[in-house]
Amino acid sequence: MKSRQEFFDAITSFVGSSEANAAFIIIKIRRFKEINTTYGFTKGDKYLAYVGQKLNEILRPEDLVGRIGDNEFGVLLPSLNNTTHAILAANKISSEFKHAVDIDGSMISPRIVMGISAKPDHGLSFEELLHAATLALQTAEKNNDDYLLHQVSSSELPPSLMLENEIQFALDDDEFTLFCQPKINLDCGKLYGGEALIRWNSKKYGFVNTQYFIDILEGSSSLVPVTSWVLNVALRQCLDYQKVSPGFSVAVNLSPSLLTDHSIVEIVSNAVSIWSVDPSSLILEVTEGAMMMNPERSLDILNEFHQLGFGVSIDDFGTGYSSLAYLKNLPADEIKIDKSFVMNMANDRKDESIVKAAVDLAHTLGLRIVAEGVEDQKTFDILTDMGCDYAQGYYMAKPMPCGDLMTWIEDSEWA
């Protein structure tokens, strides 16, 4: 088993270099001092060794286990689809340690308690996950629970109404920043474009959880001006990138509610006209679920985008609701296979089969396909071999401030 520092270093490295969802569990052995007092330190140490060995046996090969205190273990569960899987793991651990174990003739049966945190819900760094899991552990122990998933309190996130009021001030005060994550052409292994991603560093609240504020933005009066800001900054940057990477295209995500408002066509067209960008340099990403809010109106808007020469991409493909019949009639240029299928495909034949089926389907329909969540060479090679067109993920590059991307283009082997 890794030492405490080796374990923490391994988790810090994984959490910082992977875009995968993950969970961290602190496992505390209750009344451990009484075990040492009653049975002696030798048997206490042997029981700790037993716990570590049993954790490695019952968890997945890719899960990391380490001793982090006198009577505490830590477990990192990487590449989870959702927090439900962390709860299942906690149930499995709890069940395993509910019965007594024979340690040199002594039946030892102490209880364990666990605190669970999840990425990205409770943080994007190991320090944040450790803090959240510790708080959950303390609450579980106080309430005499076997385990507890950390709950984000109202004090940790600004109230939605308050944050909604701050969005317009944030726009006026230049608190928003645009990041960009490169996309790689798998046919030649070189850069072909990037996805624009908004970030908010509030002067009042610090860095605001992106999904949280986007959910609030969705129903606010600031949605259109913020979308317009993203489009204009993305297109301005695109022109700069094209100077060193001809043919560079930038993808911008469109909110679901915008696909029910025809004014979005004029907003996009005006932004492209202002920066004199070739319409094909802009890819508009929409999710399957977004199109289901009002299929008829969404289809009209997407058809108009297509006729004006903008690229249209179906994001998070495989997780939404569109039937093959509906997909066949969409005016799309590409589909993006969701990262939940891609990140485990090197170790899961079912996921690999799903991705291969999506690649074949896209090509049958005359569409390009992008794989999200590429985190290692093996996955990159599998996608290349199966004929996937493009890829994005931490293996090639993390999302980075738009200004940093210019340096990346000039220095990177992918450029």
The structure tokens listed for 129 are: 């996950």
Distance of alpha carbon 176 from alpha carbon 198, whole angstroms: 7
* CATH T-level fold of 4-149: Alpha-Beta Plaits (3.30.70)
CATH number of 160-411: 3.20.20.450
pLDDT at 355 over 60: yes
The structure tokens listed for 218 are: 């969705």
**Segments making up each domain of the chain, as ranges:** 4-149, 160-411
Question: Length of the chain in residues, anyone?
Answer: 415
pLDDT at position 325: 62
- Residue 341 — very low, low, confident or very high, per pLDDT cuts 50/70/90? confident
Distance of alpha carbon 390 from alpha carbon 372, whole angstroms: 9
Q: What is the mean pLDDT of residues 51-70?
A: 89
User: Residue 368: in which H helix or E strand, if any?
Assistant: strand 368-372
Distance of alpha carbon 26 from alpha carbon 138, whole angstroms: 10
109: CB partners within 8 A, 6+ apart: 99, 100, 101
* Residue of 369 and 154 predicted with greater confidence: 369
Whether the CB-CB separation of 369 and 363 falls below 8 Å is answered with yes
pLDDT at position 131: 87
pLDDT in tens, 186-237: 999 999 999 999 999 888 777 787 878 888 888 788 999 999 999 999 999 9
79-88, 108-117, 264-273: least confidently modelled range: 79-88
* Residue of 89 and 270 predicted with greater confidence: 270
Phi then psi dihedrals of residue 163, to 5 deg: -70, -40
pLDDT at position 141: 86
Q: What is the share, in percent, of the chain residues with pLDDT greater than 70?
A: 94
Is the overall model pTM greater than 0.85, yes or no? no
3-state secondary structure of 250: strand
Mean pLDDT, the chain, rounded, equals 88
Distance of alpha carbon 366 from alpha carbon 307, whole angstroms: 17
pLDDT in tens, 112-171: 899 999 888 888 888 889 988 998 898 888 888 888 888 765 455 666 777 888 898 899
pLDDT in tens, 136-146: 898 888 888 88
